[in-house]
Amino acid sequence: MKTNLRYKFFFILGVILVCIYGIIGLPKSKDELIANWHERIHLGLDLSGGTYLVIQVQQQDAFNQEASSDADRLKEAARKANIPVNEINVEAATSIQDAKNAAIVVKGVPSAQAGNFRSLVNEQLGEWVLTSVNPTDYRLTLKPTNALALWKNTLELSKNTIDKKINALGLTEATVQQRREDADSELLVQMPGTDDPTRVKQIIQTAGVLELYEVKGGPFNSREEALAQQGGVLPLGSKLIGQPITNGSTPSKGGGVYLVARTPVVRGQDIMDAKPESGQMPGTWNTGFVLSQEAARRFGEFTGSHIGTPLAIVLDGKVLEAPSIKNQINDQGVIEGQNSQQDAKDLSLNLKAGSLPARVTYEQESTVGPSLGADSIRQGFVAGIAGVLAVVVVMLVYYKKSGINATLALVLNAIILIACLSYFDAVLTLPGIAGIILTIGMAVDSNVLIFERIREELRAGKAVIPAVDSGFRKAFLTIIDTHITTVVSCAILFLFGSGPVKGFAVTLVIGLIANLFTAVFVSRFIFDWELSRPKPVETLSI
């Protein structure tokens, strides 16, 4: 009996030490203790202050983009293979749910060429499924596996790009993740300590795609004018770019339609670095960029052989300017005329991060200011301490010395719970605090159940030791049932719930398991220890 108790004592002591280490580590000073505490106990954004955004990736953009570039490829291939086709169009998807239905519609393939057309599609557009609408018309949709891959890729790319942009803003603690397993077009951006997301939102939504094109004609006032100039048909391998000139905008200020080479000389992904620079005039700002090695070689060759040709600098589809190439340029360039240092900085940031594969919309924005978070913690703390004190006082008055036993179990429960949160890297949120409160309630309940049982047994005339023994034994069944029922419901909340509900479930489950240990094992140990003294115990202070 004695040695058994000694083993139990060391076991409990071990658990306490491991838990305390988990909470505060091995501090050498008071400052270190506080630092360790802050490092190990992670507060949710609702307590620490910060912002989170729920972003929806408009997947249909990526699908429409894919359909449109493959439609172009198909046109080109059909022309080369001498298969006459009336028209090849894209049937664009208009919503996220609809994204995978983005299709290429082909009309007017002579039925004699049907076989050739089929094999051409199989050869060139392997990711698409061809279905015939009627003998001359066809519809192409993405194969399910390819559609899934594109979907996932779009989400992943969006996530990485947003991550880059936010990190470049200096928000190093920020995280981007998929919001929920089954919400596969939604991203959750968490930014601790940020209390105004306006700028972040702006930067995420701004694309920042820089392209440099060889200019073949222009500027024109409108698309119609440009087309008329070319006799109604654009020359091969060229396209129109830019915006029509409206009143007030002049070609030099970024308006105008240009006829440019179809493929750009430099594209967004060629940019390796970008940074703001002050302009020649005081107060003006530019954004300088550096090209990657491979792009620099290509660009050097091009500029060397095209001296005198205008080069269109296009940002997000808008022609900024079209200066003539004066000499060979290798790896560096400057975008001039930013309004402020801030604008130049934002542009360089966007140039580096690249563009999103699809537009994004904001579904939710939640900001808790630091003052509210601080107040919540303080008020929660005061309320918690007041509640626990009240409980302890009542237990001590009602159960006398045995109340001490219950108090010790309660304190140990709290220590284990906090230590587990620290070891599991869990985040403490407001609903988590709700879980802790329920845990405290159930911990008190377990003790009350046991004590009431012991009292009953004593009233029935049992001696102290058998009364304690059967009190624990009988209460144990009840405690197991109440705990398992709650754990079962928590498991459901954890599996199917999200965010706040999950936080509640995690703290509650940890608390309940800790409670089985403290109320049943530790509390029993304290009773047994008390009763194992050589002098036989005749009365129990309960």
Residues 451-490 that bind other proteins (CB under 8 A): 452, 455-456, 459, 474, 477-478, 481-482, 484-486, 488-489
28 binds other proteins (CB under 8 A): no
376 binds other proteins (CB under 8 A): yes
Question: Cα–Cα distance between 238 and 225 in angstroms, integer?
Answer: 16
Residues with Cβ within 8 Å of 447's Cβ and at least 6 positions away in sequence, in order, are 395, 405, 406, 409, 410, 519, 523
- Taking the CA atoms of 249, 251, 255 and 256 in sequence, report the sign of the dihedral they define: positive
Residues 307-326, interacting with other proteins (CB under 8 A)? none
148 binds other proteins (CB under 8 A): no
- For residue 113, give the DSSP letter: G
Residues with Cβ within 8 Å of 315's Cβ and at least 6 positions away in sequence, in order, are 208, 209, 210, 211, 335, 347
Stretch that binds other proteins, among 225-233, 362-370, 418-426, 528-536 (CB under 8 A): 362-370
540 binds other proteins (CB under 8 A): no
Question: Cα–Cα distance between 219 and 257 in angstroms, integer?
Answer: 5
Stretch that binds other proteins, among 150-158, 208-216, 328-336, 426-434 (CB under 8 A): 426-434
Stretch that binds other proteins, among 9-17, 118-126, 150-158, 384-392 (CB under 8 A): 384-392
Nearest to 380 by CA among 343, 418, 338, 428: 428
- H or E element at residue 180: strand 175-180
- For residue 434, give the DSSP letter: H
Q: Give whichever of 119 and 340 is closer to other proteins, judged by the CB atom.
A: 340
We find the least distance from the C-beta atom of residue 169 to other proteins, in angstroms, to be 10
Residues 502-531, interacting with other proteins (CB under 8 A)? 504, 508
Stretch that binds other proteins, among 78-86, 250-258, 369-377, 531-539 (CB under 8 A): 369-377
Residue 291 · residue 274 · CB < 8 Å: no
Query: Which pair of tokens denotes residue 232?
Result: 């109604």
411 binds other proteins (CB under 8 A): no
178 binds other proteins (CB under 8 A): no
We find the least distance from the C-beta atom of residue 61 to other proteins, in angstroms, to be 16
Residue 442 · residue 511 · CB < 8 Å: yes
We find the least distance from the C-beta atom of residue 55 to other proteins, in angstroms, to be 11
168 binds other proteins (CB under 8 A): no
Query: Which pair of tokens denotes residue 430?
Result: 């407001």
We find the least distance from the C-beta atom of residue 381 to other proteins, in angstroms, to be 9
173 binds other proteins (CB under 8 A): no
Of positions 167, 470, 497, 531, contacts other proteins by CB under 8 A:
497
We find the least distance from the C-beta atom of residue 83 to other proteins, in angstroms, to be 44
Of positions 33, 81, 157, 430, contacts other proteins by CB under 8 A:
430
367 binds other proteins (CB under 8 A): yes
Q: Give whichever of 194 and 303 is closer to other proteins, judged by the CB atom.
A: 194
Q: Give whichever of 502 and 524 is closer to other proteins, judged by the CB atom.
A: 502
Question: Cα–Cα distance between 156 and 185 in angstroms, integer?
Answer: 10
Of positions 362, 423, 517, 529, contacts other proteins by CB under 8 A:
362
We find the least distance from the C-beta atom of residue 351 to other proteins, in angstroms, to be 22
CA angle, 449 then 452 then 453, to 5°: 85
Stretch that binds other proteins, among 107-115, 155-163, 189-197, 233-241 (CB under 8 A): 189-197
We find the least distance from the C-beta atom of residue 391 to other proteins, in angstroms, to be 5
Of positions 305, 394, 466, 473, contacts other proteins by CB under 8 A:
394
369 binds other proteins (CB under 8 A): yes
Q: Give whichever of 245 and 360 is closer to other proteins, judged by the CB atom.
A: 360
What are the percentages of helix, strand and coil residues in the chain, rounded to 5? 55, 20, 25
Q: Give whichever of 237 and 282 is closer to other proteins, judged by the CB atom.
A: 282
Of positions 54, 120, 200, 274, contacts other proteins by CB under 8 A:
54
We find the least distance from the C-beta atom of residue 47 to other proteins, in angstroms, to be 9
Total residues contacting other proteins by CB under 8 A comes to 80
Phi and psi torsions of 183, nearest 5°: -105, 85
- H or E element at residue 194: none
Binding mask 32-51 for other proteins (x = CB under 8 A): --------------x--x--
Q: Give whichever of 332 and 361 is closer to other proteins, judged by the CB atom.
A: 361
278 binds other proteins (CB under 8 A): no
Question: Cα–Cα distance between 459 and 429 in angstroms, integer?
Answer: 45
* Cα 223 off chain centre by: 41
331 residue type, one letter: D
Residue 255 · residue 243 · CB < 8 Å: yes
Query: Which pair of tokens denotes residue 205?
Result: 């939504």
55 binds other proteins (CB under 8 A): no
CA atoms within 13 A on the CB side of 525: 18
Question: Cα–Cα distance between 388 and 393 in angstroms, integer?
Answer: 9
390 binds other proteins (CB under 8 A): yes
Which spans in 320-400 are helix H? 341-353, 370-399
We find the least distance from the C-beta atom of residue 343 to other proteins, in angstroms, to be 15
Q: Give whichever of 32 and 196 is closer to other proteins, judged by the CB atom.
A: 196
Question: Cα–Cα distance between 25 and 416 in angstroms, integer?
Answer: 14
We find the least distance from the C-beta atom of residue 389 to other proteins, in angstroms, to be 9
Of positions 365, 465, 513, 521, contacts other proteins by CB under 8 A:
365
- H or E element at residue 366: strand 360-368
Nearest to 281 by CA among 229, 241, 336: 336
Question: Cα–Cα distance between 235 and 495 in angstroms, integer?
Answer: 59
Q: Give whichever of 241 and 443 is closer to other proteins, judged by the CB atom.
A: 443
Question: Cα–Cα distance between 5 and 528 in angstroms, integer?
Answer: 8
Tokens 């004592």, residue located: 9
